[in-house]
Amino acid sequence: MTQLHHAPGASAPDRGPAPAPTDRIGDLVARMTLEEKLAQIVGFWDKGTGEAVAPMQDDFAAPALLDDVAREGLGHLTRVYGTRPVDPDERLRWLWDRQRRFVTGTRLGIPAIVHEECLTGLAAWGAATFPAPTAWGAAFDHELVERMGASIGRVMRALGVHVGLGPVLDVVRDPRWGRVEECVSEDPYLVGTVTTSYVRGLQSEGVHATLKHFAGHSGPQSGRNFAPVHAGPRELRDVFLVPFEMAVLDGGARSVMPAYNEIDGVPVSADKGLLTDVLRGEWGFDGTVLADYFAVAFLHVLHKVAADLGDAAGQALEAGIDVELPTGDAYLAPLAAAVRSGAVDEALVDRAVRRALRQKQELGLLDATFEGEPPAAPDLDDAEHREIARRLAEESVVLLANDGTLPLAGPRRVAVLGPNADRLEAMFGCYSFVNHVLPHHPGTRTGLVVATVLDALRTELAGSDVVHVAGCDVEGDDTSGLAAARAAAQDADVAVVVVGDQAGLFGRGTVGEGNDREDLELPGVQRLLVEEVLESGTPVVLVMLTGRPYAVGWALERCAAVVQAFFPGEEGGPAVAGVLTGRVNPSGRLPVSMPRPAGGQPFSYLRPRLGTDSEVTSLSSAPALPFGHGLSYTQFRYEELTVLGEPTTDAGVVVSVRVCNAGAVPGDDVVQLYGHDVYASVTRPVAQLLGYRRVHLGPGEGTVVRFRVPAGRLAFTARDGRRVVEPGELELWVGTSADRAVQTSTVLGGGVHPVTTADGRWTVTE
């Protein structure tokens, strides 16, 4: 498929002799008119009015036709496959022809970059849809996530897509925020390792990953979308920026997308300190900064720090935003006028154009001709996609509680109840094509073969009588179906109640972009449903298909078993059913704490000592279940936790532990290493994940896991603003959650060590 971007053929009409590689981009910029320059730093989005897939999109008017904006060329084509249901072969032929017209019909002959959403797989009709990012975190398997990224990138590249708008590196700080389901975890290290692996996988196939949302987006005031972020510089450095630094330095990410939010009164899209000084100056990022959709215009429309769109364009360019997406509301006519009036220096435009052209050069687009016929579209959901989706779904299901009812042992009659038991939409997150786009096209088939939990249980329990009653909807206050659900449970040996979320956008759902919560109760009357079924006296297995953790401490106490699945994707139904029947031994671990009611938010396990329970308040801050929690159908034992060698502030620490399967069935364990800096110059978290390793062990089998923790994993921002590792006592422990199982302590020797990029952040396990 490399022909798509590197096809041989004649040069474009006005390219002229090819200059030396180091001068090529400079030569192009020198020959460009202002309009040709601006065309290279904007996108075009052929969207329909009312198809609300971006915030306030209908407040901005794109040109009626692509040719209106593309006479001088174009920087990006926006969501060619991901805006509405399109046949991939037909759309690929359209795209091939359009790119050829850019090459032959514009003076400079430069094709456009095509970008698409790819948060849970390529967001296109019929494309493989993987578990949501919170499920990636629950799996604690960054190697599998890298495989997933490569499989997504392979299909995107074959379709002529060059840039993926993902992954999301936001660190969960408040589960009330609707976009939690796009996030990996509340731990920045877990976020960093998992998303960096996704970046490596996607970019291994020649598709550039875009890190979003840089930075602080997941810490909004009161958990409200777009709300101000009140993070101090230490929280920003030690929590929000950590995953981005890892993905830039270790993953080599080629694009970054700034966040919509403001921090301490400065909108990120106009923050030179973040977008230039930190990203480029400190980390050496030399890729492209792409605006989130309409974010440049928002500087004028929402933030009110720009007097008009030309002013907004100048501020964004000065800060470091190279390309305006999804259209050219600010970077076309308003910016042209601002440049000609002298309000904006054209040198800022030239800088952005050079970066945009460099990205096209890296992607092979400056040499592409698109001659001949396009290749055939690939299978968007082939056997490899399905195998990865199945494994990731199975590894991500978390068994929260179990009194021995699970696994189900050949029950005579099973009542499968709840609004999410037989809804395929319940398997998918907000940025899946099924929930993001298809609601605007009622009657359109999903394009995917998906088994619901009910379908999968009927297959798994072929010898049992499986009955189904929904009982209620995901949303709404209709309780008329509760009695029927209770009656079905009374006649059954066990009741499996499947509850949870419907992902959507801007009020069309219970979780997702723009769907924030005031409380953390199950949506609608779902708690009433569970309580009604509990009154039947039949053992209740509660299954939650959600995008966020809910406050279900009451269910943990009253239900026979509780299972959590974070939007497990196209193979999620069989994965959940496999856990219920024992075909799959659960191995998922909570990437977020299970909260108490919303009054305890925001909460993070990375809390300092003053954030723990004490006698000075009447309210508990302890979660219902800790970060990292997850049960198995076997038991794992930890022994011989040992610090090896002499730990120092510049070399870090090496730890080994022996883990054994002390049960009767094989299973996967996620060995988690935590640390606590006992005394430091600033307050430190009472627990901090330092490393993790997924291991498979048979009954009675054991293995030794060694963690090499570099200095960068132990660093924090000191009072003077430097990132340092300080000498002193360090408590270490290993467990199946942030709660301690086996522990030891050591002393870091040496002096205060200023951390540089060479210190690294990635713990190596052996």
Lowest mean pLDDT, pick from 189-198, 564-573, 756-765: 756-765
Kindly tell me if the per-residue pLDDT of 15 is higher than 70.
Answer: no
Banded model confidence at residue 18, pLDDT cuts 50, 70, 90: very low
What CATH number should be reported for the domain whose range is 636-765?
2.60.40.10
pLDDT tens digits, 397-449: 999 999 999 999 989 999 999 999 999 999 999 999 999 999 999 999 999 99
CA 599/CA 603 separation, integer angstroms: 10
Kindly tell me if the per-residue pLDDT of 130 is higher than 70.
Answer: yes
CA 411/CA 494 separation, integer angstroms: 7
Distances (CA, A) of 363 to 24, 358, 558: 15, 9, 56
Kindly tell me if the per-residue pLDDT of 25 is higher than 60.
Answer: yes
Could you give phi then psi for residue 142, rounded to 5 degrees?
-65, -25
Banded model confidence at residue 22, pLDDT cuts 50, 70, 90: low
652: left (phi over 0), alpha (psi -120 to 50) or beta: left
Q: Give SS3 for 165.
A: strand
Distances (CA, A) of 312 to 12, 227, 262: 34, 20, 15
Structural contact between residues 400 and 625, judged by C-beta atoms closer than 8 angstroms: yes
> Residue 9 is encoded by which pair of tokens?
């053929």
Domain regions of the chain by residue span: 3-367, 397-611, 636-765
Q: Which residue has the higher pLDDT, 518 or 340?
A: 340
Banded model confidence at residue 9, pLDDT cuts 50, 70, 90: very low
The pLDDT, as a whole number, for residue 614 is 77
The predicted model gives 217-244 an average pLDDT of 91
Lowest mean pLDDT, pick from 157-171, 198-212, 594-608, 628-642: 594-608
The predicted model gives 25-37 an average pLDDT of 96
Banded model confidence at residue 223, pLDDT cuts 50, 70, 90: confident
The pLDDT, as a whole number, for residue 552 is 96
Kindly tell me if the per-residue pLDDT of 252 is higher than 50.
Answer: yes
User: Which one of 2.60.120.330, 3.30.930.10, 3.40.190.10, 3.20.20.300 gives the CATH number of domain 3-367?
Assistant: 3.20.20.300
Structural contact between residues 382 and 573, judged by C-beta atoms closer than 8 angstroms: no
* Residue percentage of the chain with pLDDT more than 70: 95
Domain 397-611: CATH architecture, name and number where available: 3-Layer(aba) Sandwich (3.40)
Distances (CA, A) of 431 to 122, 383, 483, 575, 601: 10, 22, 35, 21, 25
The pLDDT, as a whole number, for residue 609 is 84
Question: Dihedral, CA atoms, 491, 496, 497, 499, nearest 10 degrees?
Answer: -160
Mean of the per-residue pLDDT values of the chain:
93
Query: Exposed, middle or buried, 67 (CB in 10 Å: 0-12/13-18/19+)?
Result: exposed
pLDDT tens digits, 625-683: 999 999 999 999 999 999 999 999 999 999 999 999 999 999 999 999 999 999 999 99
Give the torsion sign (CA, 297, 302, 308, 313).
Answer: negative
The predicted model gives 29-35 an average pLDDT of 97
pLDDT tens digits, 57-85: 666 655 568 888 888 999 999 999 999 99
Strand order in the sheet with 561-566: 398-402, 561-566, 540-546, 494-500, 413-417, 465-469
The pLDDT, as a whole number, for residue 142 is 98
pLDDT tens digits, 169-197: 999 999 999 999 999 999 999 999 999 99
CA 405/CA 540 separation, integer angstroms: 9
The pLDDT, as a whole number, for residue 613 is 78
Banded model confidence at residue 741, pLDDT cuts 50, 70, 90: confident
Kindly tell me if the per-residue pLDDT of 145 is higher than 90.
Answer: yes
Full-model pTM: 0.95
Spell out the residues 6+ positions from residue 618 whose beta carbon is closer than 8 angstroms to its own.
none
A 10 A CB-CB count for 488 gives 22
The pLDDT, as a whole number, for residue 535 is 97
The pLDDT, as a whole number, for residue 721 is 92
For the chain, how big is the Rg over CA atoms in Å? Answer: 26
Kindly tell me if the per-residue pLDDT of 17 is higher than 50.
Answer: no
